[in-house]
Chain A
């Protein structure tokens, strides 16, 4: 691409199930 440089390819679509895997920690 000549005019755009992608710094991060979005990952919001990646998910393990309809409720997530639940392995992540909580953070305040």
Chain B
């Protein structure tokens, strides 16, 4: 299977099964329509008015060379030859240290922080036991990811701090054969000098939530009083980022109310934030800010604008250049195809733990009773949940088999599929369409930069 498309004059061909990427000229682009079972006479007769016989012969030879090198029309993998999971271990934990929040974002999937339950803060005891659970169930895996999440995790900062120090104790207990790595996701309103310094010292990644322009952010990200958060969080985030030498992401959400979201990305870049991500809202389709199928063309044009500006600023080495999460492809060192088939690992390699220690497949399934797996104190009580997720992959999800983007999206988000269609094996179609556009742009960016600066090895940063 191949996927070919044109963008800004570049003709790009992705060989789906090998993951090879080629930039081709017009004659190859046209001739590929006759493959994988080319009829030379038919090619000659249909293209003779467009290309010389010599050009057609050369192009066919080039295509043939790549086919023989298994870089075009490579065969698909037989799932029977591989074992998707061989004794999976837990590698990452989303630790819900607070099911409470001090702001009331209108689109919050966590129901403004409480996950539709009582507002609750995780005790140090539950936090410690959760980290022990992660270490105990991680097999020989060295790097263990802990994502402090909420609600707003900084409402429980003392516990966050204690847990980071407890991680050091656990590493010693395991003879330094374990290495805890921390991420925190915050709305930024509670940041002060002490907290910012702590995050910059101990958090391997921080995710800072802001939607972009003031009027956009303050439409949705509001205090209980209705006042927006923009004026408070921008200086707070600047202080974190300006003093930080580790990974961070400034992350927003776009809705139907700001379908011109490229301007929000550029606004954040112009504020001096370099690592950016903005995600489409996923919500009840009855909400007036929910994205609709009819919005897709507008959304695609916005992603295209972001890609063009991304390239422009990169090539000019503009001091306001930016990285965009969805355009970051590691072409030189991408994961093996088994990882691409497996995807996020929810319920197996990745779990979420609530303030009372209950275990769920991921943060998006938290407090959905049918997905509770067990508790960090009593262990897994419902092993069927892990088995359920183990069976779901691009090999089983509806429509993935014939989709060219399957090795890039890995079947998409289980929770989005479940929320949209009541089945983790029925992908969220709006999400699929947006992901395909983003992947086309991401590949285009790599191709464009490679063509513009062939000698420069890496123009992007992950």
Contact = CB atoms under 8 A, between A and B. Distances in A.
Interface of A: 1-16, 18-28
B335 A7 contact: no
Contacts of B22: 4-7
Interface residues of B, number: 55
A10 B71 contact: yes
Nearest to A14: B336
7 contacts: A4-B25, A5-B22, A6-B20, A7-B23, A11-B18, A15-B336, A20-B336
Given A6-B71, A11-B18, A12-B19, 11 more contacts: A3-B25, A3-B27, A4-B28, A4-B66, A7-B22, A7-B450, A9-B71, A12-B18, A13-B337, A18-B83, A21-B336
A1 B62 contact: yes
B458 to A, nearest CB: 13
Q: Please report whether the interface of chain A is mostly helix, strand, loop or mixed according to DSSP.
A: loop
A17 B148 CA distance: 33
B141 to A, nearest CB: 8
A6 to B, nearest CB: 5
Contacts, number: 113
Contacts of B345: 26
Interface of B: 15, 17-25, 27-28, 58-59, 62-63, 65-66, 70-71, 74, 77, 81-86, 88-89, 91-92, 141, 143, 145, 331-332, 334-340, 344-345, 349-350, 362, 407, 413, 446-447, 450-451
Nearest to B55: A3
A17 B334 CA distance: 16
Contacts of B65: 1
A28 B337 CA distance: 17
Given A5-B451, A10-B70, A24 B339 contact: yes
Given A6-B22, A19-B82, A26 B344 contact: yes
Among B20, B84, B350, B451, the most chain A Cβ lie within 10 Å of the Cβ of B20
